[in-house]
Chain A
Amino acid sequence: MSVGPALDAGLALLASALAVWVVLARQAFGAVVGFVAFGLVLSLAWLRLGAVDVALTEAAIGSGVTGAVLLAAVTRLHCARPVVAAARCGRRTRAISIASAGLVSAGLAALVLSPTDPAPTLAPQAAAALPELGVGNAITGILLAYRSVDTLLEKIVLLLALAGIWSLARDGAWGDRPAPPGSGRRDGTLTLLGQVLPPLGIVAGIYIVWVGADAPGGAFQGGAILAAMWILALMARLADPPVVGRIGVRLAVGIGPIVFLAIGFAGFALPGGFLSYPAGFAKPLIIVIEVALTFSIAVVLGLLVLGPSARGTQR
């Protein structure tokens, strides 16, 4: 295959050029559009690097959901005049930052061009322990067994981010619905899209979680797709944003981490201790955790996109 290197070079160049565009763009809107394109190029690069799981996550979260948040923000900021003192940097600051950023780049480049030989890897160890868990996808094994405590803490990070965003509501609006995404007008095309796409997307999302134990896919990727479908339905005004003070919403948000923690604590009864799984039951337990997490991740990602409660959004 001689196309491969050319494709890699093209993707690397395109990603770098888009990054420069995003950073130097005078207008925020152009920068955001550039960033979304940058995310898509990167997910192709991840495919080329043989990381299908990461490519899925990058496309769904790094480019998709992040893009939704940024585009919504840039449209809202567009109407307002800039308030944060936007003083341009002086020539000296620029020179210093070019020098320091260039230094970091040069250091990194020197290191990637002179790799350790043989390159260290944990792949054999990760693969050797997989049969014990009964899952086929090593990434799922890492996220939910070997390094599960990272995943657990990261779920708490998501909850804290949500609470942090909710804390930006005005006191009078606390617990109310967030403002619906989009322009606020009904639109025929959008309604059609909102009716056709979510059923397909929901099937795709659930499929990605389901195969995640053995093939590329998992809770984050599936959850992000489900969240995107929900946002789409909200944009098309086929559903209202939820009243975030309701116990049902809180339950949906918390159930994933709570199930994860509960199964973790149950591990104290086993020789392996916290977050260990009984022999032979690892895979079913991992799937239970994944399903609960997917549900919560979908809800939390959606709510993170929606933002804090706003008063007067109830129809």
Chain B
Amino acid sequence: MLTGQASTLPETNSPIGFLLVLAIALPAGGVALSLLLGGRGAQRLAMATMPLGVAVALVVAGNIWRSGRSLTYLVGGWHPPLGIALRADGLSAVMLLTTAVVIGAVCLYARGSFGLPAGADERRAPLVFWIMLMGVWSGLNAVWLAGDLFSLYVALELLTFSAVPLVSLDGSAATLEAALRYLLFALIGSVLYLLGTALLYGGYGTLDLVLLSHVIKPEPTAFIAASLMTAGLLAKTALFPLHLWLPPAHAGAPAGGSALLSALVVKGSFILTVRLWFEAMPSLLHLGTSQLLGALGAAAVLFGSVLALRQARLKLMIAYSTIAQIGYLFFLFPLASAPAEATSMFGDDWNGIAWTGGMMQLVAHATAKAAMFMAAGLIAEALGHDRIAEFAGLGRALPVTMLAFGLGGMSLMGLPPSGGFVAKAMLLVAAMAEGQWWWAVVILVGGLLAAGYMFRVFAPALAAVDVTMRRRVVVPQSRQAVVLALAICAMLLGLMPLRPSQLLEVGRPASVTALTR
């Protein structure tokens, strides 16, 4: 073996490792079979895949939690670097679970808008929606589990190709333009990512994340590759200033689709960025990169929140708030990679707290934002529009929906006892303890701005007015209940203790722990 060449690891399949394959292959098979069966078949398949997928996620997460060990599966029995390994650590488990919960809720919710009665002919929008839903699920699970940078590229493309048609499902010129712009951004993002992948293969002869982390060195190849890949991934994550595509795309999709896009799809490229820096090339994180990523995050929080305040339409407001909430995620980079001398001050694992806090923010935002988009969808169905200024009396007309929307909003603001509160509190204390107080300021200001745009919705909606609201459609209680359940999930996350989560610690990148020492 040549020097500097990656050699194989002594890895074997975990006993329940086959579940990792199922997590990806079940929805992927659903896509292929849906096209074949057509009509109601797609909906039935999605409904059948949903409980299976949730069960797989639960078993995988439960196993990792109990055993405290990551899972591995070598596809076809081939060892990396020649073959591809699927790996699940604590982070993967959390993401698998979040994905399963949100997609499960979207499935139940979307039966109301895309369900076909028995014996009905195949129709365009329902078939495409259910196929894309399974495509999103398969792509996300592949992003959480694949251990190879090129497989991750294919996984990202799986996400892009299932996300874009959701945007233009209604076929209007505005959404078509949004979809086209989203596609172009996403494609440039993937091609930049692929360019970095090529450079890494040329430099180190492997694309396996673990093998790469053993051989990578802080040198120009790694640095240029990392910059290109990060730029590409940020375009896909819609981090400021590459966010231009997001609001029209997320606001244009049908509510269930918006929930998928905002809650989950943008997180795929984010997690990949995290894995790239923290797992594959931690030695490069100290060249000012973490501060730069944090600064872009801060700009996103402020910019996104201010623009959300100025929106006249509810869905656009929620979409701009996604830009802001994505910003918080990037505080993970400076806060979870602080050097040892900064974190030992109070004798606590502040990097670990920031790590858990950042991931909590991700999960809390996913559940809260999905609930809010679906609530907005119900409001739009009931009223026939989503103009915030005409929401007078909405609180009385749709109390359950408004409650769900409000609970989601509490999480965005970071009010206790929501998941968003726990997440932001952990990031806040980590920032203070590590002496990086400037992030704390942004977190607080972002919370105030979020309160501002939530207030703009609730002020008219809860105002005591005499006029009874004219509702176009009566929204069924069951759909409102689904949305409320998801919002309550976002609340329940607030019961998490303010310390590093046991599950997220499993397989936490050595860099984060080693730096603390």
Contact = CB atoms under 8 A, between A and B. Distances in A.
Interface of A: 84, 104, 107-108, 110-111, 115-116, 118-122, 125-126, 129, 145-150, 152-157, 159-164, 166-171, 174-175, 245, 247, 250-251, 253-254, 257-258, 261, 264-265, 267-268, 271-277
Contact of B75 (A107, A119, A148, A155): A148
B310 to A, nearest CB: 22
B450 interface: no
A99 to B, nearest CB: 14
Contacts of B124: 166-167, 169, 171, 174
A121 B205 contact: yes
Contacts of A254: 32-33, 35-36
26 contacts: A116-B4, A116-B204, A120-B4, A120-B6, A125-B82, A146-B76, A146-B84, A148-B75, A149-B75, A150-B150, A153-B24, A153-B151, A156-B28, A156-B135, A162-B35, A167-B128, A168-B171, A168-B176, A169-B124, A247-B36, A254-B35, A257-B32, A258-B36, A268-B18, A273-B76, A274-B75
Given A153-B142, A254-B32, 12 more contacts: A111-B224, A120-B202, A122-B205, A150-B151, A156-B138, A159-B35, A163-B165, A168-B176, A170-B171, A171-B123, A245-B122, A273-B13
A258 B133 CA distance: 19
A164 B132 CA distance: 8
A168 B77 contact: no
B220 A153 contact: no
A273 B18 contact: yes
A152 to B, nearest CB: 7
B458 interface: no
B32 A157 contact: no
A264 B165 contact: no
Interface in B148-173: 148, 150-151, 154-155, 157-158, 161-162, 164-165, 168-169, 171
Contacts of A164: 128, 132, 161-162, 164-165
Interface in B39-85: 73-78, 81-84
Contacts of B158: 153, 156-157, 160
B169 A167 contact: yes
A174 B123 contact: yes
A239 B215 CA distance: 56
A150 B38 contact: no
A111 B132 CA distance: 39
Interface in B108-167: 122-125, 127-128, 131-132, 135, 138, 142, 148, 150-151, 154-155, 157-158, 161-162, 164-165
B29 interface: yes
B488 interface: no
Contacts of B142: 153
Contacts of B478: none
Nearest to A153: B154
Interface string B453-484: 00000000000000000000000000000000
Nearest to B20: A274
A155 B165 CA distance: 17
Nearest to A121: B205
A273 B122 CA distance: 37
Contacts of A107: 220, 224
B317 interface: no
Contacts of A104: 228
B5 interface: yes
A161 B151 contact: no
Contact of B220 (A110, A159, A175, A267): A110
A152 B206 CA distance: 21
B32 A159 contact: yes
A126 to B, nearest CB: 6
B444 interface: no
B172 to A, nearest CB: 12
B25 interface: yes
Contacts of B206: 120, 122
Given A120-B204, A167-B165, A257-B32, A149 B135 contact: no
A264 B132 contact: no
A251 B377 CA distance: 35
A69 to B, nearest CB: 15
Nearest to A261: B29
Contacts of B150: 147, 150
Contacts of A265: 25
A276 B135 contact: no
B311 interface: no
B162 A160 contact: yes
Contact of A120 (B5, B75, B155): B5
A274 B128 contact: no
B132 A160 contact: yes
A166 B205 contact: no
Contacts of A148: 75-76
A108 B224 contact: yes
B199 interface: yes
Contacts of A84: 177
Contacts of B224: 107-108, 111
A115 B161 contact: no
Contact of A276 (B4, B76, B128, B162): B76
Contact of A166 (B74, B128, B171): B128
A39 B82 CA distance: 30
A148 B154 CA distance: 12
A273 B74 contact: yes
A292 B433 CA distance: 60
B507 interface: no
B31 interface: yes
Given A153-B154, A160-B131, A163-B165, A272 B203 contact: no
Contacts of B17: 273
Contacts of B2: 118, 120
Contacts of B4: 116, 120
Contacts of B127: 163
Contacts of B199: 108, 111
B515 interface: no
B21 interface: yes
B436 interface: no
Nearest to B198: A108
A159 B35 CA distance: 8
Contact of A261 (B28, B82, B168): B28
Contacts of A271: 77
Interface string B352-381: 000000000000000000000000000000
Contacts of B28: 152-153, 156, 261
